[in-house]
Structure 1
């Protein structure tokens, strides 16, 4: 499991795929930028600086990136499609399962989950 920016930073790893034998499923959480950084104080204090320097929004078409490296690309739009994409992890080859996410929505969801976890502790 990886985020979109992390995958882009390490995309040159796909160059070694001709030597790869086995199975690999990469789950990509694509929130079009550095969503993890939304929790930093600078996100609220300096939104313009935050967007450019931390969130670094991107609009990469990961299906094209996958295709140019011979990687199967799946983009499930429902839980059922995700389950199907993950059903045979031992199948030979490399696949990229891309999950679309919303950076701003993820911040509130993460806060709600942490609050709920704290309430049950």
Structure 2
């Protein structure tokens, strides 16, 4: 969901934003960001499933002494699928097949590839973090798929109300 939120909600800004949308939207995202970071400091915003699918890309940062900040939004699974109508009718197997929780502790990946690591229990805790300017760092922000979905529904309702008033 992080890339979709940036795409949908990021308006007037001077920030350079790049996106790698693999075959299914999650392929090679870490590797692409590390390639970009070879020439300038980069901050990658990524969800836990996309990160998991390309964790081995961290080796290139380690072997080539490339510094990158990774903000890992971890809701333990695939949040986009929570918006499917099947979520309610297929509750017996939906979480396992579509939610795809991994329960992974990504601090181990940071240690494996010589990244520093910091975990935040919420987005509010992360808001005031200072991103590293010197070394490779993973900032894991724990979130809830249910909370995320509720926040999106609130936002969509507000936007719908605005559109309805202006029409």
Q: How many residues align?
A: 117
Matched position secondary structure for 1:16: helix
Report the aligned-residue RMSD.
1.8
1:2 aligns with 2:46: yes
Contact (CA 8 Å) 1:74, 1:85: kept in 2 or not?
Answer: no
Match of 1:74 among 105, 114, 118: 118
Runs (4+) of structure 1 moved beyond 6 Å? none
Match of 1:13 among 21, 37, 57: 57
Give matches, 1:25-40, under 5 Å: 25-40=69-84
1:106 aligns with 2:151: no
Shift of 1:103: 1.1
Larger RCO (CA under 8 A, 6+ residues apart): 1
Q: Quick one: structure 1 residues 30 and 80, their matched pair in 2 at CA, closer, same or farther if it must change by over 3 Å?
A: closer
Shift of 1:84: 2.4
Q: Give the equivalent residue in structure 1 for 2:128.
A: 83
Give the TM-score normalised by structure 2: 0.64
Contact (CA 8 Å) 2:46, 2:72: kept in 1 or not?
Answer: yes
Larger helix fraction of residues: 1
Structure 2: gaps (5+ residues): 1-44
Contact (CA 8 Å) 2:74, 2:143: kept in 1 or not?
Answer: yes
Contact (CA 8 Å) 2:72, 2:141: kept in 1 or not?
Answer: yes
Matched position secondary structure for 2:77: coil
